[in-house]
Structure 1
């Protein structure tokens, strides 16, 4: 839904309905310009997805705003906070992450006031917040465009005057970006992220004043695309000609401010294009690195990472960095024909039952048993890494509570010369998913990326029996109640194991899924798994089900949905 203004009508204040309209129009604008923005994406990586990432980030913001309208009649503060929070959760890529921080900076001020002067302050705060979130700000990018927008309306005024001046300032700055960033000048394009921001600000002008500004790139003197820019290698001016990192790593992180400050330093040493946005305990982390596993592990040491997305930038032997070519040559052997000795690789997995230990061992993993009340220590994990007798080890803790223990064991193993990648699996079903795509003949980083992606795509749940009366996120439970935990939080309280399991499954599958994994223990009622398999078969025709037996010592039921 969007508000339509009459001719010559303009808004005096940015109320909640106006925020809703702005989100919808910004999404429409980015949708119209998406392909063109993708086409001019040459910095920081020429992967042709800036328009798509901005669109998906704006889509997440709009969906969050629509959700608060569906639940209530929000005020401006609630609407802008929903917008910012939605963008934070759904941010994609370098540009989307920066857009999320821009919206977060605006929301903090617009929650206090809705007039033109507050909008001017909001844009100034947005620019400052975005620049602070980027480890090494570069001029000629969206940061420059955002700063120009803020400067253009710094004097305040009516809502429309401020929005229009911000848009005009941003547009002028956008047209100057090829002269500030060499890679843009060589390609003959403006900055892709900056063009997206101009589209978002244009939607704001349309929302508050009823007029649609001309799209960026159509005015006289605007820089246009001069050929196939997708083939142009992107590199900062200081390192023209060098290949960039191989992977883009993005994850949400629950962590304290102090831990995030340390994380920034660790990630900055690992790669580039580092952007960390958010606050109040929830952050969105974006970085380009060669060692994706190390970037994820840094997040584990800082807090609880989730929604991990790892993208391998297209690369082949012709564009590989010398270190990558050397690694491939080593794997190919002296003759270069691929028949030389390969580095040995192993997987070490923590498992809660004998049956799962056998299953993982059959898949080639070295296992460590985790018994109720007796989690393994870092000494146990280090011993298992040594026992694997491998130069490269992938470590699967399969438990949220073991992330720090696993990180300590990995660090000790590295000190012994073993290359260790820690994948932050939070449940055994995520470990099973990761192990299923493990390919020891792949390059180590590629294997870690594939396993991390498989684990991250698996939502998990667990059924447990309450030992005593307690307060939970789903209400008060009594001793003997069946608890359905989804992603670690109590979501369902029931009396019957089967009925509770069905409810948990339905909630998980409401968000989609293609494969359900059930892991049952020795003391699980024998009819539970067949009942749930039938429930899925009847209600979700396109979903497959696989059942494993964990053996003794495991929870009554573990559920994974991929």
Structure 2
């Protein structure tokens, strides 16, 4: 898991510029690559600190051989520091994928299929208004492909069976990325594939590489529309999007969480709410990561503060890329 997230951090860093260049949905703000990179980096660094024994957030009795527990720790860090739609959905994916792996010391074909399925279901449900043709479709396709291949293994828990399931998941994800162009009118008009979907495809190929000890598939992205290095930055020609992105982490009761989601749906869009961890706090509340696009931050922030005490509260203009693009890191495979 540590090697996977390290490779994913490097791969997304290498590709952030091209992912940003084709980022036009749900808003053409050209920051999907940056947001994914920062979120993956948070997960990877959490495991570095955890394995070095420097992370006070990691339970002292957490067995380092428990794949699910290790991945859940990375997922919580990603959720707390998630950026944008894409980063938040990846954090949801990571946290959910960890659940079927809890208590297991190695990954198998059946566990991989279960993890991918749990992750895609949770990601779809985190959004109030999920849209096909995005990274959600890529997650779903990977899970379906993995499940279909695993079903033919009849319980085979060998590494060979795992490798075939990983191959199928990446191949399914690639097919879904290609299909995104025809699923969303904005992508079809611009003749590009979905930016978040490309990022998710890269992350899944990094998982395959890390588990099998094989190199990344350098030709994986060849032919994707809008993804050649000489292609223009599509988002730069799009009109600026009005409004802001509001994100925070907040402790809420189940009732207040439902209330917040409903009222955010009324005043904004791209609403994502997902629990940070599964355990209730001593007062019965749960921690939530909240994301919304709104015309004006003031009503949304006031609403959030009326229900709890938010932390990690950020307000970002949708028309401006919020972070400097990460410097490319050298790696084998996936280089442009």
TM bucket (normalised to shorter chain) is 0.7 to 0.9
Aligned residue for 1:247? 244
In 2, Cα distance between the equivalents of 1:40 and 1:22?
Answer: 25
CA contact 2:22–2:226 (8 Å) conserved in 1:
no
Q: Could you tell me which of 257, 272, 275 is aligned with 2:272?
A: 275
What SS does structure 1 have at the residue aligned with 2:147?
coil
In 2, Cα distance between the equivalents of 1:231 and 1:179?
Answer: 21
CA contact 1:65–1:83 (8 Å) conserved in 2:
yes
Unaligned runs of 5+ in 2: 54-59, 154-160, 279-285, 321-336
Q: Could you tell me which of 243, 258, 262 is aligned with 1:261?
A: 258
Superposition deviation, residue 112 in structure 1: 4.1
CA contact 1:20–1:62 (8 Å) conserved in 2:
yes
| RMSD (CA atoms) | 1.8
Superposition deviation, residue 232 in structure 1: 4.2
In 2, Cα distance between the equivalents of 1:267 and 1:171?
Answer: 33
TM-score (norm 1): 0.49
* Cα distance change of structure 1 residues 166 and 299 upon mapping to structure 2, 3 Å threshold: same
Q: Does 1:42 align with 2:24?
A: yes
* Cα distance change of structure 1 residues 260 and 201 upon mapping to structure 2, 3 Å threshold: same
What SS does structure 2 have at the residue aligned with 1:164?
helix
Larger radius of gyration: 1
Say which structure is richer in helix. Answer: 2
Q: Give runs of ≥4 in structure 1 deviating > 6 Å.
A: none
Q: Could you tell me which of 146, 150, 173 is aligned with 2:143?
A: 150
Aligned residue for 1:193? 196
Q: Does 1:207 align with 2:210?
A: yes
CA contact 1:45–1:233 (8 Å) conserved in 2:
no
In 1, Cα distance between the equivalents of 2:138 and 2:255?
Answer: 30
What SS does structure 1 have at the residue aligned with 2:310?
strand
CA contact 1:273–1:286 (8 Å) conserved in 2:
yes
* Cα distance change of structure 1 residues 87 and 120 upon mapping to structure 2, 3 Å threshold: same
Aligned residue for 2:57? none
Q: Could you tell me which of 303, 306, 309 is aligned with 1:301?
A: 306
* Cα distance change of structure 1 residues 233 and 112 upon mapping to structure 2, 3 Å threshold: farther
In 2, Cα distance between the equivalents of 1:245 and 1:99?
Answer: 25
Aligned residue for 2:293? 288
In 2, Cα distance between the equivalents of 1:244 and 1:257?
Answer: 33
Superposition deviation, residue 231 in structure 1: 3.0
Q: Does 1:126 align with 2:108?
A: no
Write out per-residue CA displacement over residues 517-544 of structure 1, whole angstroms, 9 at most, x where no aligned residue.
Answer: xxxxxxxxxxxxxxxxxxxxxxxxxxxx
In 1, Cα distance between the equivalents of 2:163 and 2:256?
Answer: 41
Write out per-residue CA displacement over residues 405-432 of structure 1, whole angstroms, 9 at most, x where no aligned residue.
Answer: xxxxxxxxxxxxxxxxxxxxxxxxxxxx
1:67-78 alignment, distance < 5 Å: 67-71=49-53, 74-75=64-65, 76-78=67-69
In 2, Cα distance between the equivalents of 1:187 and 1:180?
Answer: 12
TM-score (norm 2): 0.81
In 2, Cα distance between the equivalents of 1:232 and 1:268?
Answer: 29
Unaligned runs of 5+ in 1: 1-18, 235-242, 316-562
CA contact 1:43–1:191 (8 Å) conserved in 2:
yes
Superposition deviation, residue 78 in structure 1: 2.6
CA contact 1:101–1:126 (8 Å) conserved in 2:
yes
Q: Could you tell me which of 226, 229, 234 is aligned with 1:224?
A: 226
In 2, Cα distance between the equivalents of 1:224 and 1:129?
Answer: 29
CA contact 1:60–1:87 (8 Å) conserved in 2:
yes
Q: How many residues in Structure 1 have an aligned counterpart in Structure 2?
A: 287
Aligned residue for 1:83? 74
In 2, Cα distance between the equivalents of 1:87 and 1:111?
Answer: 18
Superposition deviation, residue 86 in structure 1: 1.0
Aligned residue for 1:314? 319
In 2, Cα distance between the equivalents of 1:314 and 1:108?
Answer: 36
What SS does structure 1 have at the residue aligned with 2:3?
helix
Q: Does 1:29 align with 2:11?
A: yes
In 2, Cα distance between the equivalents of 1:227 and 1:271?
Answer: 30
In 2, Cα distance between the equivalents of 1:58 and 1:209?
Answer: 20
Aligned residue for 1:63? 45
Superposition deviation, residue 163 in structure 1: 1.6
In 2, Cα distance between the equivalents of 1:264 and 1:131?
Answer: 15
In 1, Cα distance between the equivalents of 2:255 and 2:295?
Answer: 25
In 2, Cα distance between the equivalents of 1:40 and 1:58?
Answer: 19
Say which structure is richer in strand. Answer: 1
What SS does structure 1 have at the residue aligned with 2:100?
helix
Superposition deviation, residue 65 in structure 1: 1.1
CA contact 2:249–2:289 (8 Å) conserved in 1:
yes
Superposition deviation, residue 77 in structure 1: 2.9
